[in-house]
Amino acid sequence: GRAVGASLGLADGAWLGLALGPAVTSYARGAAFVVQKYLERPLLVERLKFDIRQFVLVRSLAPLEVFVYDDFYVRFASVPYAPPTTRAMLGDRATHLTNMQVQKDVDGFNKTVAENQWSGAQLRAHLDARFGAGTWDTRVRPRMLRLIVEAMAAWDRSNHRANSYEIFGVDVMLD
């Protein structure tokens, strides 16, 4: 499989992380890939792990033309997060994965956060209340956009046909 990932530090030591594509489970000698370190201390809301789903359209790789949809949504895990202390704990999908296919059948689904999702406006309001007015607009969003552009720029141009486009659901975590 192919995975592309990156992380970017915020001024106060927090990090943004992004991963695209399937996880690397095996590779051929000399294969090129980037692997991101597991985020051991993710930013939590109500003790729940979350990620931001941001839609991105790539119209061209040469020159790079990336369009990021203004809105996004937030997906939550159903089980309160605890840092994994064993490899087995990483297998707890209800704690570590946020996608709806995993969460919809978990006992804690829809209990702490309605439908395990927030709108972009809800996250912006939460961040502003917790870290100060303008947190999303001045600290998170600009870095997230740069991170997305950097990840798209790393994409192998031979995997993109001329006169076509790709739409990605990019998942971003904060810690």
Span 70-104, pLDDT tens digits: 999 999 999 999 888 887 787 788 888 888 888 88
The β-bridge partners of 170 are 54
* Residue 22 φ/ψ, nearest 5 degrees: -70, 160
Model confidence, pTM: 0.76
d(CA 26, CA 35): 12
Peptide bond into 42 cis (omega under 30): no
DSSP H helix total and E strand total for the chain: 5, 7
Span 28-82, pLDDT tens digits: 666 655 556 678 889 999 999 999 999 999 888 888 889 999 999 999 999 999 8
Span 150-167, pLDDT tens digits: 888 888 777 777 788 889
d(CA 147, CA 7): 7
The residue written with tokens 């141009």 in the block is 157
7-13 long-range contacts, CB within 8 A, separation 24+: 7/36, 7/37, 7/147, 8/143, 8/146, 8/147, 8/150, 10/139, 10/140, 10/143, 11/139
Question: Residue 21 above 60 pLDDT?
Answer: no
pLDDT band at 25; cut points 50, 70, 90 = low
Q: Please give the residue that has the higher pLDDT: either 128 or 98.
A: 128
